[in-house]
Amino acid sequence: MSSRRPTTVRPMAVAAVVVGGLLGGALVGCGNEDAAQPQTEAVADSDSATLEYVIPVGAGEALDAGTPLEILPGELEVNVGDTIRIENQDDRGHTVGPFFVGANETLTQRFSTPGEFEGVCTVHPSGQLVLVVNA
């Protein structure tokens, strides 16, 4: 009997390792979107900001008419610790790069981790968005 035991244990062990690896890979592979992206943290609106942008009144109507909305530059390079403030004076919420700012809302965020991101932005004249947060 002892000579047969490895023949039954071994395939199950190998299969268990394979299953574990597959499940782990599947879960990690679809769940680590946040790992490489730069992170921010909320800052009080009263604090001073390194970068300040304003979404003007009527920006939404301009977008509806097909006019690209250029609030952020197509390429934005900042350092960890820098603060960005976006004031939305419009009566409609707007997506500005990786930020969403509600109607008549001010969003103030500090870049807390380094990272780099490049994506498509259909409302920007360049059609592209590059965000680099240096350490």
3-32 residues near another protein, rule: CB under 8 A: 4, 7-8, 11-12, 14-16, 18-19, 22-23, 26-27, 29-31
Q: Is 107 in the site for another protein (CB under 8 A)?
A: yes
Q: What is the 3-state secondary structure (H, E, C) of 64-120?
A: HCCCCCCCCCCEEEEECCCEEEEEECCCCCEEECCEEECCCCEEEEEECCCEEEEEE
Asked if residues 98 and 78 have their Cβ atoms less than 8 Å apart, the reply is no
Interface map 43-82 toward another protein (x if CB under 8 A): -----------------x--xxxxxx--------------
Those residues with Cβ within 8 angstroms of residue 118's Cβ, 6 or more apart along the chain or in another chain: 128, 129, 130, 131
Would strands 40-42 and 94-96 be described as parallel, antiparallel, or unpaired?
Answer: unpaired
104 is a contact residue toward another protein (CB under 8 A): no
> Of 44-52, 72-80, 94-102, which part binds another protein (CB under 8 A)?
94-102
Minimum CB–partner distance for residue 133 and another protein (Å) = 10
| Interacting residues toward another protein by CB under 8 A | 1, 4, 7-8, 11-12, 14-16, 18-19, 22-23, 26-27, 29-31, 33-34, 37-40, 42, 60, 63-68, 92-95, 98-100, 102-103, 107, 109, 117, 119-123, 127, 129
